[in-house]
């Protein structure tokens, strides 16, 4: 998990790099070392060897997609030009019309509109953990068709 969080933080330091890497991975002179490290990490966390090629692609896509989405949302909010208090007040009014802040819909909308970096990282970690836990789950043979 530490590698995934570190990767996210590095991409945030260079926000223009994330969409570029997502669209076209940058060539590396020494691509063997990161590939070997990734394979070792997946083995260490208990991913079946047969699933490692798919796991690498799935986890990489999640990491890049999440970061590109998050960077885009932050840019969008910055481009709005609203100050934070006015934006929060406007969102609060909308949430009140949709059932109030204690309703599930209100909680979902408030969460989606949050620009709290700590909450964003916690959400990223939650998604990454769910993904990895799913990849660790032993695969069952398909049921015979009858």
Backbone angles phi, psi at 91, to 5 degrees: -65, -40
Contact between 106 and 100 under an 8 Å Cβ cutoff? The reply is yes
Domain covering 2-24+33-136, topology: Tetracycline Repressor; domain 2 (1.10.357)
Rounded Cα distance, 137 and 132, in Å: 9
Per-residue pLDDT of the chain (146 residues; tens, 9 = 90+): 788 889 888 888 888 888 887 777 656 677 777 788 889 999 998 999 889 988 988 998 899 899 888 888 888 777 776 666 677 777 778 777 777 778 887 777 777 777 778 888 898 999 999 999 998 876 654 556 66
Rounded Cα distance, 49 and 54, in Å: 10
Rounded Cα distance, 99 and 23, in Å: 40
Structure tokens at 142: 């398909």
Domain ranges of the chain: 2-24+33-136
Per-residue pLDDT, 40 = 92
Per-residue pLDDT, 143 = 56
Per-residue pLDDT, 141 = 45
- 3-state DSSP assignment of residue 82: coil
């Amino acid at each position: 998990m530490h590698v995934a969080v570190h990767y996210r933080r590095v991409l945030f330091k260079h926000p223009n790099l994330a969409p570029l890497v997502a669209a076209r991975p940058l060539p590396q002179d020494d691509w063997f070392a990161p590939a070997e490290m990734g394979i070792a990490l997946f083995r260490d966390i208990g991913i079946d060897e047969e699933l490692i090629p798919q796991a690498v692609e799935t986890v990489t896509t999640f990491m890049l997609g999440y970061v590109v989405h998050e960077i885009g949302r932050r840019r969008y909010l910055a481009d709005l030009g609203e100050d934070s208090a006015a934006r929060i007040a406007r969102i609060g009014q909308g949430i009140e019309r949709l059932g109030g802040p204690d309703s599930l819909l209100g909680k979902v909308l408030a969460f989606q509109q949050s620009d709290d970096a700590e909450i964003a990282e916690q959400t990223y970690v939650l998604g990454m953990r769910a993904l990895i836990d799913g990849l660790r789950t032993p695969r069952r043979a398909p049921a015979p068709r009858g």
